Structure formats: structure tokens, C-alpha cells
Amino acid sequence: MTAQPLTRRSILAQAWPIMLGQTTVPLVGLVDTAVIGWTGDAAALAGVALGTAIISFIFWAFGFLRMGMTGLTAQAHGRAAREEVDGLLVRGVAAGVGIGVVLVALQIVLVPAVFALLAGGGALDAAAREFVTARFIGAPAALGFYAISGWLFGLGRTRETLALQILVNLVNGVLDIVFVWQFGMGARGVGLGTAIAEWVGLIAGIALVVRIAGLRALLAQRAGFFHGAAWKRLFAVNADIMVRTIALLALFLWLANAGARLGTVQLAANHVLMQLVSIFAFVLDGFAFTAESRVGQAVGKRARAELLRAIRLTGEFSLGFGLLATLAALLFGGALIDLLTTNVEVREAARSVLPLAALAAIVGVPAWLLDGVFIGATQGRALRNAASLATSLYIATDLLLRPFGATGLWLALLASYFFRAGLLAIHLPRLFATVAEPPARA
């Protein structure tokens, strides 16, 4: 488990499997959207959009199982602490599966509570409820898979992560098509296909990490599994990341609800365009995730020069690919909209704000990259404060721009990326100051 040299070539070698694997995530979202969209049922498409936002809010509230695991693992790897690396994996997977089981038990309370807060009703709510209920079946697997992914990212094992991601998303896409087109299950079929794919991913992930770490090494963690200090550190580091994640999820849930207030057609159009934005975010996350790993290793080694170089190299690639993504969206976004839905009204509504959605690729780069930097450094307080304030500023901006309809909605989203990046950048000097170079050896 030796670290790779910090060069442009090594950064790109580490990032491209993440980019390819992350691309398959929104591609499955595209399949989900297209499978429903080609039926011409705008209510079902809007229901999947609203249901996806709800599930993302609930599941990704525990996204620290992926993000915190990456930073902690990378830092332990930087210190060459092999036993700590293995212990983090075992505790992380156990925590993810355990929290997922609790979520399954609590869905009877959670689902009605969430729908009571959202603007919808009628066929829209019915479709969204079917999707959400089916997705809850995969909660333990999804959260356990978060921990495995974070552990692999922390070690820089991006090709293995790519293999797992492709497997999960292929299973997801195939099952969605079968359940919706073959069995006519609608939104419930999309949710069930994703839930089954998540269980396939967890089983395959466990098999993979056992091969990497060794069964004997993982079993050796049994003696210290209930070690209080280790569990306390795991959740202490991740508590702030959890608040940060909830704040950002609240932002996107507000966005989905703002679309619902504009009507079923606009909500469906926003969902189509968010597939485009998701492609930007997931692809560019290849460099953000690489930053998490490289920054974490630099912090673990107390190497300030390496930290600065990791930020600079990943930043160069992020900006370049962000510009290319914006241009591609402007050129091919209309064709993508036509591919995803046959509904004429939804197509027209999506095209009217396509240029604003395309700008998200370049506007979001600083926010996505700095997220990776602070996650890798496990600077949870900075992440928490920046996300909480950025979400508050976004909501205020959205309320101010509400008279401008869909245009105002997308302008507010773009502003949220500026808020996040600026508020995180304020904490950079403090981060650099905390990473002191180790004393020179004689």
C-alpha cells in the first residue's frame, strides 16, 4: 500500500478511474430518467425527481461514512499505520450497515414526515412515495458501500472502486429497464432496481476489500473492534461532516421543492437538467476525490509542500475539465434533453434554462475541489460552517429571485457554488498553518 509520487501523471492516473466510475452514476440517473421519460408520463418523471431528492437527503446525511473514511484512511496511510487502516474499514462498514438497518426501521416515520414538508400532491406524491419506499430496502447496503468506497479512495485504489461502481450501475440500469418496461412497475420499479444493485455492490465490495487487506488482517481487528477511543474518534471527526452534508442536502431538497412549486412540467424539466449537472459534478469529482486522498496523505505525513502541490495540481485539472464540460453542455445539451424525454412541454421548459445549467460545470469547480481538500484534511468544522452559511445564503437568494421563475431558480443555484467556495477559501490559511513540516533528521 505504498503512496504514488505526486506528479501530474500520477494525479491523472488516480483521477481517471474515478471520473469514469463517477460518470456511470449519472448515466444510471439518465437511464432512470429516460426509462420513465419515454413513457411520456410527466407525473411519474417528476415523482422520481422528487423521490430522488428525498432519498439523497436521507441517505447522504450519512455520507460522512464515505467522506470521513477517505480522509482518515488517507492520513493513516500517510503515517504507514496499517493496523489503523484495517480497523477503520471494519468499523466503517459495521457502522454503515447498522445505521442502514435503523433507517429501514424508521422509514414508517421518516417518509410521511418528509412528504408533509414538500409541495406536491396527487399523482406526483403517489409516484414519489412508491420510489422512496422501494429505495429504503437498499439502505444498509448503500451505507455500507459508502464506507468501502471511502476506504478505497483513501488508499488511492481508484481502479478497484471503478470496477465496483460499474458493476453496481450496470445492474441498476438493467433492472430499471426490466422492472419498468417489462413489468410496468413505474417509479417503484426504478427504486427497486437501485436497491437490489446496492446489495450487489456491498457483497462485491466486501469480497474485494478482503482480497486487498487479507482476511486474517481484518479478523485480527476483532479484539479492538469495541475500542471506545477508536469509535469516538471516528464519529467525532465525522459529526461536523454530517452537519455539512445535511446542510447541502437541504439546499438541493429546497431546489427540488422550488421546482415543484413551479409545477409538474418545470419540476420534470429541472430533473432532466440536473442529470446534466450531475454529470459535471461526478466527473469533476474525480479530481476532488483525488485531492481528498493526496491531501489526507500529505496531512498524515505533515508535508506542507506536498499539500500545496496536491491542491495546485488537482486544481489545474479541475478548471481545464470544467471549461470543457461547459462547452460540451452548450453544444450537446439540447440533444440530451430530447434523448431523456418525449414530452414537448418538458423539453421546451428545459431548453429555456439550459445555458444556466451548462454554467454549473465551471462555476462549481472551486466549491467541489475545496470540498475535497477539506475532507481529506478532516477539517470538519470548516466544512460545517461553510455549508451551513452557504445554504442559508442560497435560500435567501432563491426567495429574492423567485419572481423570475425558473431563471431565478437556476441563478440561485449558481450563486450557491460561489457562496460555498468563498466560505471555504477563508479557512485555507488556517489549514496551511496546521500542517507544519516535520523537523529535519540528522
Model pLDDT for residues 272-309, shown as the tens digit of each residue:
888 788 777 777 888 888 998 899 888 888 888 899 99
What integer pLDDT is reported at residue 289 of this predicted model? 85
CB 5 within 8 A of CB 303: no
Max avg pLDDT among 57-61, 108-112, 425-429: 425-429
Q: Which residues, 6+ apart, have CB-to-CB distance to 78 below 8 Å? A: 3, 296, 297, 298, 299, 300, 301
Domain membership flag for residue 2 = no
Whether the per-residue pLDDT at 36 is higher than 80: the answer is: no
DSSP 440: P
Domain membership flag for residue 69 = yes
For residue 96, name the pLDDT band (cuts at 50, 70, 90): very high
Domain membership flag for residue 441 = no
For residue 3, name the pLDDT band (cuts at 50, 70, 90): low
Query: Which residue type is seen at 244?
Result: R
Average pLDDT over residues 321-339: 90
Segment 141-150, tens digit of pLDDT: 999 999 999 9
Q: Which residues, 6+ apart, have CB-to-CB distance to 208 below 8 Å? A: 148, 152, 160, 163, 164
Whether the per-residue pLDDT at 392 is higher than 60: the answer is: yes
Whether the per-residue pLDDT at 213 is higher than 90: the answer is: no
Distance CA 351, CA 332 (A): 11
What integer pLDDT is reported at residue 145 of this predicted model? 95
Q: What is the extent of the structural domain holding 398?
A: 8-434
Average pLDDT over residues 414-418: 96
Whether the per-residue pLDDT at 2 is higher than 60: the answer is: no
Max avg pLDDT among 109-113, 288-292, 385-389: 385-389
The domain total for the chain is: 1
Question: Which triple of cell numbers denotes residue 381?
Answer: 468544522
Query: Looking at per-residue confidence, does 158 or 310 come out higher?
Result: 310
Whether the per-residue pLDDT at 235 is higher than 90: the answer is: no
Domain membership flag for residue 1 = no
CB 389 within 8 A of CB 423: yes
Whether the per-residue pLDDT at 405 is higher than 60: the answer is: yes
Whether the per-residue pLDDT at 13 is higher than 90: the answer is: no
Model pTM score? 0.76
**Average per-residue pLDDT for the chain:** 84
Domain membership flag for residue 323 = yes
Domain membership flag for residue 405 = yes
Distance CA 263, CA 283 (A): 30
Whether the per-residue pLDDT at 321 is higher than 70: the answer is: yes
157 membership: H or E segment, kind and range: none
Full DSSP string of 12-46: HHHHHHHHHHHHHHHHHHHHHHHHHHTTT-HHHHH
Whether the per-residue pLDDT at 57 is higher than 60: the answer is: yes
CB 87 within 8 A of CB 222: no
What integer pLDDT is reported at residue 354 of this predicted model? 93
For residue 40, name the pLDDT band (cuts at 50, 70, 90): low
What integer pLDDT is reported at residue 30 of this predicted model? 64
Distance CA 391, CA 247 (A): 6
Share of residues in the chain with pLDDT > 90 (%): 33
Distance CA 65, CA 96 (A): 7
Whether the per-residue pLDDT at 442 is higher than 50: the answer is: no
* 3-state SS, residue 149: helix
Max avg pLDDT among 66-75, 176-185, 362-371: 362-371
Using alpha carbons, list the distances in angstroms from residue 235 to 65, 66, 72, 88, 396: 9, 12, 11, 11, 32
Instruction: Give the phi and the psi of residue 44 in degrees, each rounded to 5.
Output: -65, -40
Average pLDDT over residues 422-437: 88
For residue 28, name the pLDDT band (cuts at 50, 70, 90): low
Domain membership flag for residue 440 = no
What integer pLDDT is reported at residue 404 of this predicted model? 92
Domain membership flag for residue 215 = yes
Distance CA 269, CA 253 (A): 16
Query: Looking at per-residue confidence, does 42 or 130 come out higher?
Result: 130
Average pLDDT over residues 425-431: 93
Average pLDDT over residues 25-29: 62
